[in-house]
């Protein structure tokens, strides 16, 4: 049974003027008229509003970009994979070109292409993440830290595991609107989760390297300190194993080093990584959603948007 616009506003937390704005802009279908100036709204409107808010508030997209995503969602000829491509490609960082990095980016792009081919990732040539990764690699090289790219494969291993977890969460949705909503929220908020978890792990590892060593920070900085040789073991409940898990590997209680070693040999086991959505050859059917579109809707002030991210 349909509800009036005031009730729809209460359920979704979206102000009535903003709902009317979305209807005018074509983002939200009109309600069913019950009189010349009264309409009712159903569950589909509620789901649509939640998706719009996820794209705007969490994804940081502008109205024009949101319209592109919604058009893809509503297109029955687009597979879920392609719809996710339209939505999540807009969240990939874009970096301004500069004369200083042009040559470096070209070389880094070759390195990125080799990485993708080596790992067997099915990724479009025009996937925006190719260029953003190449720019990051070129920047590292430009500031004298090109050696850091030696960990790219280690990062890629972790990325495959995260992609598997992300897509498992997305796959639990029951319809296309929910699939895209989960993908947007998971991608945007997943970045925050990863950054926080990475920092926590850094703090833990730094403590073992620079505080738990009898050699002090000098030896640790030189990369010569082994926790086991320093006289300081891992925290209680964690065992350091050499039994197949690799030197210095920490074994959770109840597991043998051999079990940890077997897991670590195939971190991507069972994972089919896409390295970014959008089927091969499907990069050119998305409209430019960058600088165009109308202004921000009523009652949504101060939102940080990435409308420019849709360009390129």
Question: Residue 83 in contact with residue 179, Cβ under 8 Å?
Answer: yes
Mean pLDDT, range 23-35, rounded to an integer: 91
Please give the DSSP secondary-structure letter assigned to residue 57.
I
Question: Residue 173 in contact with residue 182, Cβ under 8 Å?
Answer: yes
Mean pLDDT, range 27-47, rounded to an integer: 90
Query: 142: exposed, middle or buried (C-beta count within 10 Å: 0-12, 13-18, 19+)?
Result: middle
The per-residue pLDDT for 266 is: 41
Helix axes 176-210, 43-53, angle to 10 degrees: 30
Query: 89: exposed, middle or buried (C-beta count within 10 Å: 0-12, 13-18, 19+)?
Result: buried
Distance of CA 262 to the CA centre of its chain: 28
**Each residue of 165-187: b (16+ CB within 10 Å) or e?**
ebbeebeeeeebbebbbbbbbbb
Q: What is the pTM for the complete model shown? A: 0.60
Residue 120's pLDDT band (boundaries 50, 70, 90)?
A: very high
Given a cut of 50, whether residue 201 has pLDDT beyond it is: yes
Given a cut of 80, whether residue 105 has pLDDT beyond it is: yes
Task: Rounding to the nearest 10 degrees, give the CA dihedral for residues 181, 187, 189, 192.
Answer: 180
The per-residue pLDDT for 102 is: 67
Q: Pick 111 or 245 by higher pLDDT.
A: 111
The per-residue pLDDT for 200 is: 97
The per-residue pLDDT for 54 is: 87
The predicted-structure confidence for 146-188, as pLDDT tens digits, reads as follows 888 899 999 999 999 999 999 999 998 888 888 888 888 888 8
Percent of the chain with pLDDT over 90: 33
Cα-Cα end-to-end distance for the chain: 44
Q: Residue 32, SS3? A: strand
The per-residue pLDDT for 263 is: 42
CA dist., res. 124 & res. 310, Å (int): 16
| Domains of the chain as residue ranges with CATH | 5-76+292-310 (1.10.1660.10), 99-265 (no CATH)
Q: Pick 180 or 253 by higher pLDDT.
A: 180
The predicted-structure confidence for 12-28, as pLDDT tens digits, reads as follows 999 999 999 999 999 99
Given a cut of 80, whether residue 6 has pLDDT beyond it is: yes
Given a cut of 90, whether residue 106 has pLDDT beyond it is: no
Given a cut of 80, whether residue 9 has pLDDT beyond it is: yes
Helix axes 176-210, 152-170, angle to 10 degrees: 140
């Amino acid at each position: 049974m349909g509800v009036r616009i005031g009730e729809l506003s209460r359920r979704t937390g979206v102000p009535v003027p903003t709902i009317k704005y979305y209807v005018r802009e074509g983002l939200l279908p009109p309600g069913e008229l019950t009189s010349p100036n009264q309409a009712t709204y159903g569950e589909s409107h509620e789901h649509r509003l939640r998706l719009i808010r996820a794209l705007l508030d969490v994804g940081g997209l502008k109205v024009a970009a949101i319209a592109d995503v919604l058009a893809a969602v509503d297109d029955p000829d687009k597979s879920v994979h392609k719809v996710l491509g339209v939505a999540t490609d807009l969240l990939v960082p874009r970096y301004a070109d500069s004369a200083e990095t042009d040559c470096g980016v070209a070389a880094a792009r070759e390195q990125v292409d080799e990485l993708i081919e080596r790992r067997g990732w099915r990724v479009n040539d025009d996937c925006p993440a190719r260029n953003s990764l190449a720019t990051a690699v070129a920047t590292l090289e430009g500031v004298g830290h090109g050696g850091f790219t030696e960990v790219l494969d280690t990062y890629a291993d972790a990325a495959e595991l995260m992609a598997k977890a992300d897509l498992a969460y997305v796959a639990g949705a029951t319809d296309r609107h929910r699939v895209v909503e989960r993908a947007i929220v998971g991608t945007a908020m997943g970045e925050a989760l990863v950054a926080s978890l990475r920092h926590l792990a850094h703090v833990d590892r730094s403590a073992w390297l620079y505080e738990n060593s009898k050699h002090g920070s000098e030896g640790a900085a030189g990369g010569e300190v082994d926790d086991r040789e320093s006289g300081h073991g891992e925290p209680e409940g964690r065992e350091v194993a050499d039994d197949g898990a690799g030197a210095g590997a920490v074994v959770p209680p109840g597991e043998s080093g051999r079990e940890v070693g077997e897991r670590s040999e195939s971190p991507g086991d069972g994972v089919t990584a896409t390295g970014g959505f959008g089927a091969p050859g499907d990069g050119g059917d998305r409209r430019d959603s960058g600088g165009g579109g109308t202004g921000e809707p009523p009652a949504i002030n101060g939102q940080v948007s990435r409308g420019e991210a849709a360009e390129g």
